[in-house]
């Protein structure tokens, strides 16, 4: 373990999503009132937000090691199968367990997997068959046993064709492609694919077998099961919280959920704080040093800064308003992420006569001054007109990212010929003129675009206000922009069910698998993705994706070439508008001893395994 007087790191340390770490301790679980499992649940996203004066964590207890962090919004459920929102990853990773666990290398420069619920590393039978042995002492935190039936139940619930879960693809088709899994969950009521035909089998009480379409190595196999969607579900509690309608409230409260990991989730004051305390009965408990982890829910940046300055947080991620204050702080670290922010374009707004027109989408692409938005509005970010992120391919065998490859550079060079990061008011006007004519609009017509932005994000609001000023100038007053505030964590259902109420919305999807297979960053924009945010699908784009899928087991050069074709198809169809490669800036307190010496893509800073320097 490495002592952490953090010096500023170069912007060369590439990233994964940093673990939004967690909370503390209480003897009696404190949960919201259990919901009726037969009714849909709506939780007020603004209820009870924590303030800098909050004493929700109950304070440090003598001799306890307490890690203090925050999230911008609370988990909507502890059931990792049911939501695409990432906030439930923190409590699941701290308080549950899966087959394997990623841990830092001894030298702090990488990470590797070790058996967790599994008794040993996965057993490769052949290129398409794997077995997992489950440790016979594995148990839930209430003492109930965990065995092969636990996972068979979990996977059957996740793949249920009559109740397709938001995260189902993370089992069926992620790092591994499980035989017949996709056909099974997509069959609906047709009953054409039997559960017995899916490539997941119970061999004995403590052994599972998996059949895959694609060949895989040990790391790929372990990566597949790292998803929060694949953590085990307690069958008894799940069934006890399932109503006659078949809707389950599993994970809606602490009483309706069960963990099996290194920490117990002991306190949940919704939109205020999550508290975890160390589980001494966990079989790998010696790896973890925190007695108590506290995760405050703090939407407002000013409140986070006050907590940091008063010593009530051990980490702080910076935004535009705060980066300048801390840019020279020796505790600051930075890294390029796997996130490229973009605008989704509603192509089904019947109130917008341009909606669905390709030249209209291209006009908007060229009308975005990415340098002003990324540098001036968001602060110290990287403008980009490309979509494939800067980390894509970093975990490939060669370690070469797509953006660094000749294929990625060719696309970047093409975009720069249009203008800086694709910005060209002249091209924007030219494409809009074409769209205007194709849609039968007259010179006197004015089209107003509705821009959705999150209520607690000053940057999103400023982004909207900037386009409100710029678009009328670029398009001679024919295009106006108006903003509409939406709640934090706005459901994608809003966009799908209110298509006439918006035109632009900000999105920031991250596909961790793109670090190995670069093209997979596009997964969320496919028509086949059940929870897709966009509603435009082009045959060229979809066909280019299928070509990438066909070569996923080929040599890396072939994959890079196919990724380029997909990125070019994206730019031709303009599925959405990329504008900013996210660079993350984080402060860590001097009291921390991190287990790594640099940011590790696919692992992060390892704060779960950190300790205190006293």
Q: What average pLDDT is seen over the chain?
A: 88
Q: How many domains does the chain have?
A: 2
Out of 196, 230, 264, a domain closes at 230
Both tokens of residue 449?
A: 């675009």
Choose among 18, 8, 9: nearest CA to 338. 18
Per-residue model confidence (pLDDT) at position 375: 93
Out of 181, 199, 230, a domain closes at 230
CATH number, domain of 217, equals 3.90.76.10
- Say if residue 395's pLDDT is above 90: no
Q: Give the pLDDT mean for 403-419.
A: 98
Give domain status of residue 259, yes or no.
no
Same domain for 418 and 564, yes or no, is: yes
Give domain status of residue 367, yes or no.
yes
- Say if residue 605's pLDDT is above 70: yes
Per-residue model confidence (pLDDT) at position 486: 87
Q: Give the pLDDT mean for 580-604.
A: 92
Alpha-carbon distances of 391 from 28, 178, 259, 411, 549, rounded to whole Å: 43, 26, 32, 16, 19
Both tokens of residue 467?
A: 């386009």
Q: Give the pLDDT mean for 461-477.
A: 97
Give domain status of residue 71, yes or no.
no
Pairing of strands 332-345, 382-383: unpaired
- Say if residue 201's pLDDT is above 80: yes
Residue 28 CA neighbour count, 13 Å, CB half: 2
What domain range includes position 178?
Answer: 111-230
pLDDT cut 90: percent of the chain above it: 75
Give domain status of residue 146, yes or no.
yes
- Say if residue 26's pLDDT is above 60: no
Return the minimum-mean-pLDDT range out of 444-448, 512-516, 540-544, 578-582: 512-516
pLDDT tier, 30 (very low <50, low <70, confident <90, very high otherwise): very low
pLDDT tier, 74 (very low <50, low <70, confident <90, very high otherwise): very high
Choose among 274, 379, 261: nearest CA to 317. 379
In degrees and rounded to multiples of 5, residue 112 shows phi and psi of -150, 170
Same domain for 220 and 356, yes or no, is: no
Per-residue model confidence (pLDDT) at position 489: 66
Per-residue model confidence (pLDDT) at position 531: 72
Rounded CA gap, 532 and 528, in Å?
8
Rounded CA gap, 584 and 11, in Å?
9
Give domain status of residue 333, yes or no.
no
pTM of the model: 0.72
For 414-427, the pLDDT digits (tens) are 999 999 999 999 99
For 333-354, the pLDDT digits (tens) are 988 889 999 999 999 999 999 9
pLDDT tier, 597 (very low <50, low <70, confident <90, very high otherwise): confident
Q: Give the pLDDT mean for 312-316.
A: 97
Per-residue model confidence (pLDDT) at position 46: 31
- Say if residue 545's pLDDT is above 70: yes
CATH number, domain of 568, equals 3.10.105.10
Both tokens of residue 403?
A: 């953006």
- Say if residue 40's pLDDT is above 50: no
Per-residue model confidence (pLDDT) at position 33: 33
Per-residue model confidence (pLDDT) at position 577: 97
For 264-301, the pLDDT digits (tens) are 999 999 999 999 999 999 999 999 999 999 999 999 99
Rounded CA gap, 199 and 155, in Å?
11
Rounded CA gap, 529 and 542, in Å?
12
Q: State whether residue 210 is helix, strand or coil.
A: strand
Higher pLDDT, 457 or 444: 444
Per-residue model confidence (pLDDT) at position 21: 30
> DSSP letters of 466-521?
HHHHHHHHHTTTSEEEEEEEE-TT--HHHHHH-GGG-SEEEE----GGGGTSGGGG
Helix residue ranges, H only, 166-263 = 169-172, 181-185, 218-224, 235-240
Out of 188, 205, 230, a domain closes at 230
- Say if residue 43's pLDDT is above 90: no
Rounded CA gap, 551 and 559, in Å?
6
Q: Give the pLDDT mean for 250-268.
A: 97
Give domain status of residue 364, yes or no.
yes
Alpha-carbon distances of 461 from 301, 363, 372, 477, rounded to whole Å: 14, 22, 14, 21
Per-residue model confidence (pLDDT) at position 242: 93
- Say if residue 569's pLDDT is above 50: yes
Give domain status of residue 251, yes or no.
no
- Say if residue 103's pLDDT is above 90: yes
Same domain for 407 and 553, yes or no, is: yes
Per-residue model confidence (pLDDT) at position 317: 93
For 46-59, the pLDDT digits (tens) are 333 333 344 444 44
Give domain status of residue 611, yes or no.
no
Per-residue model confidence (pLDDT) at position 117: 98
Buried (b) or exposed (e) across 97-113, using 16+ Cβ within 10 A?
bbbbbbbbeeebeebeb
């Amino acid at each position: 373990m490495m002592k952490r007087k953090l010096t500023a790191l170069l912007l060369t340390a590439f990233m994964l999503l940093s673990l939004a770490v967690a909370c503390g301790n209480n003897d009696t679980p404190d949960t919201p009132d259990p919901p009726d499992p037969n009714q849909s649940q709506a939780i007020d996203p603004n209820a009870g937000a924590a303030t800098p004066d909050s004493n929700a964590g109950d304070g440090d207890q003598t001799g306890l090691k307490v890690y203090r962090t925050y999230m911008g919004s609370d988990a909507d459920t502890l059931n990792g199968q049911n939501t695409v929102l990432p906030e439930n990853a923190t409590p699941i990773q701290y308080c549950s367990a899966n087959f394997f666990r990623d841990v830092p290398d001894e030298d702090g420069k990488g990470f590797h997997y070790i058996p967790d619920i599994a008794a040993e590393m996965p057993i490769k039978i052949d290129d398409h068959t794997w077995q997992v042995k489950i440790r016979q002492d594995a148990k839930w935190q209430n003492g109930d046993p965990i065995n092969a039936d636990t996972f068979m139940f979990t996977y059957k619930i996740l793949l249920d064709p009559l109740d397709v879960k938001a995260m189902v693809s993370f089992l069926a088709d992620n790092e591994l492609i499980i035989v017949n899994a996709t056909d099974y969950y997509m069959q609906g009521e047709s009953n054409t694919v039997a559960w017995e035909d899916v490539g997941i089998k119970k061999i004995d009480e403590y052994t599972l077998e998996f059949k895959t379409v694609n060949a895989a190595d040990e790391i790929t196999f372990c990566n597949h099961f790292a998803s929060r969607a694949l953590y085990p579900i307690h069958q008894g509690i799940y069934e006890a919280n399932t109503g006659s309608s078949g809707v389950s409230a599993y994970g809606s409260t602490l009483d309706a959920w069960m963990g099996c990991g290194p920490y117990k989730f002991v306190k949940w004051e919704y939109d205020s704080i999550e508290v975890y305390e160390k589980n001494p009965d966990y079989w790998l408990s010696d790896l973890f040093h925190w007695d108590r982890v506290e995760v405050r829910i703090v939407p407002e940046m000013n409140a986070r800064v006050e907590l940091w300055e008063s010593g009530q947080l051990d980490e702080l991620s910076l935004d535009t308003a705060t980066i300048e204050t801390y840019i020279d702080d020796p505790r600051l670290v930075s890294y390029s992420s796997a996130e490229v922010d973009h605008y989704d374009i509603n192509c089904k707004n019947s109130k917008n006569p341009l909606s669905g027109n390709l030249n209209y989408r291209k006009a908007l692409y060229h009308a975005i001054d990415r340098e002003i938005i990324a540098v001036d509005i968001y602060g110290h970010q990287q403008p980009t007109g490309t979509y494939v992120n800067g980390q894509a391919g970093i975990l490939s065998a060669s370690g070469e990212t797509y953006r660094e490859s000749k294929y990625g550079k060719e696309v970047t060079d093409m975009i720069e010929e249009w203008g800086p990061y694709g910005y060209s008011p002249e091209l924007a006007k030219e494409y809009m003129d074409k769209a205007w004519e194709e849609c039968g609009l007259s010179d006197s017509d004015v089209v107003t675009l509705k821009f959705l932005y999150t209520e607690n994000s000053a940057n999103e609001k400023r982004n909207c206000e900037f386009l409100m000023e710029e678009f009328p100038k670029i398009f001679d007053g024919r295009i106006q922009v108006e903003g509409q505030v939406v709640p934090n964590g706005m459901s994608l259902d809003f966009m799908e069910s209110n298509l006439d109420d918006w035109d632009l919305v900000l999105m920031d999807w991250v596909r961790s698998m793109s670090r190995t297979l670069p093209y997979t960053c596009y997964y969320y924009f496919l028509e086949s993705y059940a929870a897709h945010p966009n509603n435009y699908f082009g045959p060229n784009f979809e066909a280019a994706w299928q070509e990438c899928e066909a070569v996923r087991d080929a040599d890396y050069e072939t994959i890079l070439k196919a990724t380029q074709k997909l990125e070019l198809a994206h730019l031709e169809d303009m599925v959405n508008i990329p504008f900013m490669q996210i660079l993350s800036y984080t402060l860590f307190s001097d009291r921390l001893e991190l287990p790594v010496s640099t940011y590790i893509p696919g692992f992060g800073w390892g704060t779960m395994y950190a300790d205190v320097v006293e």
